[in-house]
A and B are shown apart, each in its own frame.
Chain A
Amino acid sequence: MMPIWTKSGKKHAVTLLKVQDCHVLRYVSKEESGGKTSKLLVGGKNGSPFSKSESAMEIFKEAGVPRKQKVTTFNVTDDALIKPGTPLYAAHFRPGQFVDVTAKTIGKGFQGVMKRWGFKGQPASHGQTKTHRRPGAISTNKASKVYRGKKMPGKMGNIYRTSFGLKVWRINTKHDIIYVNGSVPGHTNCLVKVRDSKLPTCKDSNKNPPFPTFFADGDEKLPEDLYDEEVFQFTDPSVTYT
């Protein structure tokens, strides 16, 4: 994570996400998947082909792509389909867009009810016998049962969670890095799924994105760094107020 300053002098914290060897793997049509839209399978970081079975490696062989460590699905409209085997780059996103980021949270193991659910526990002294971090009562007398989903101790973390509506401040096309506002679930160097935001307030800002995606061998030549309009670039002189 890094600080980033706007032209008005405000500081925002930014997470760096690297797009590492992303390729489109397969196209699944609407009827095949049974959903409302067709899907595209996309694979992430490269890995060794020897630890997977032959049947699992078929997808990668068809697309002509080395084995990927993470495969995700994106729901895609029919006019935005991409041929399997095309590489995807960070320039697919542009500064000023809003983005949802999904990843597996940091695993904390088996945790008690105070850390997992934020219960208050009991006082440390004044006669409490062996009861300082326990949940206390778990149900009422009238119910005479414990409801499903009762908050209790258990394995915490290591589940998929999404942070919604994160603004993209800056894109580095040379190293394929996306600078995303705020924090993102997951530990450092973990695999992450980045998707256009589906929040209703962010619909207007996703205007004129590269459609269906940014092709590196196309005619567009982008500069090494793409900045949002409000971002203070370090080539400018210091900020002054008039």
Chain B
Amino acid sequence: RVNSDGKPAKFQPPPKPVIIDKQKQREERRFLSPEFIPPRGRTDPLKFYIERKDMIQRRKVFSIPEFCVGHILAVTTADPYANDKASRFVGICIQRGGKGLGATFVLRNVIEDQGVEICYELYNPRIQAIEVLKLEKRLDDNLMYLRDALPEYSTFDVNMKPVSRLDHEEIPVNKLQVRMKPKPWSKRWERPKYNIKGIKFELPGKKMKEAQKWSQPWLEFDMLREYDTSKIEEKIWKEVSEELKK
């Protein structure tokens, strides 16, 4: 090879290969289910420790996958009155509530033009299986506004196949802006206390400005409401992962 000057080109070594250690990436992602974090209060920490032991014991026997609000799940429960003694329900998780053994999650779906929401308890022994069909986060932590949205946003195929995804990929965030039915709604979702980013408000600008009257900008500076859970989470994460590995 000859350069443009006419002199022979200097040997350039090939670029070094970039090694992406996928195992390290996988370890870095820690997910602690929100029901493990104890609420703020004057209860004895011994009570939370004993509850956690029971929760870990149940998780050893029956695997509960990690899921968030916005994922599409299929839950099979034992039902004494059903034909096969088991009933299966597919829906989008709109809310995760409760702490400890009484933790619940609400699944919503529209079946034959009728909106159906079922609240399941995570640690109920009648639950036979929980499968995550589609992992997808939404812009909000609480999707209760889907009740007042057009039914097309809550319909999911009952016989949907689980969407395949690789382990180390991050959970995609669906930035879908949902269109609503005409007012009145069950809650005034345009008010800043709900802090919803996933609705495409088609209200006149005057109504949106009026809703901002109920904003409480001092709330984020209120020190008595602060509950820093980072250290508690780390301790509990270590405890839980060690117990589950046994």
Contact = CB atoms under 8 A, between A and B. Distances in A.
Contacts of B58: 234
Nearest to B85: A241
B121 A3 contact: yes
A3 B57 contact: no
A234 B126 contact: no
A82 to B, nearest CB: 27
Name the prevailing secondary structure of the B interface residues. Answer: mixed
Given A16-B50, A175-B50, A241 B121 contact: no
Contacts of B57: 234-235
Contacts, number: 64
Given A237-B61, A241-B78, A5 B125 contact: yes
Chain B interface extent, by class: 20 to 34
A228 to B, nearest CB: 15
A2 B61 contact: no
A141 to B, nearest CB: 51
B70 interface: no
What 3 pairs between A and B have smallest CB-CB spacing?
Answer: A234-B57, A241-B80, A234-B58
29 contacts: A2-B47, A2-B100, A2-B101, A2-B102, A3-B101, A3-B121, A3-B123, A5-B124, A5-B125, A9-B78, A9-B126, A11-B121, A188-B41, A188-B42, A188-B43, A189-B44, A234-B54, A236-B61, A237-B61, A238-B61, A238-B126, A238-B127, A238-B128, A239-B125, A239-B126, A240-B85, A240-B128, A241-B79, A241-B80
Interface of A: 2-3, 5, 9, 11, 16, 18, 172, 175, 177, 188-189, 232, 234-242
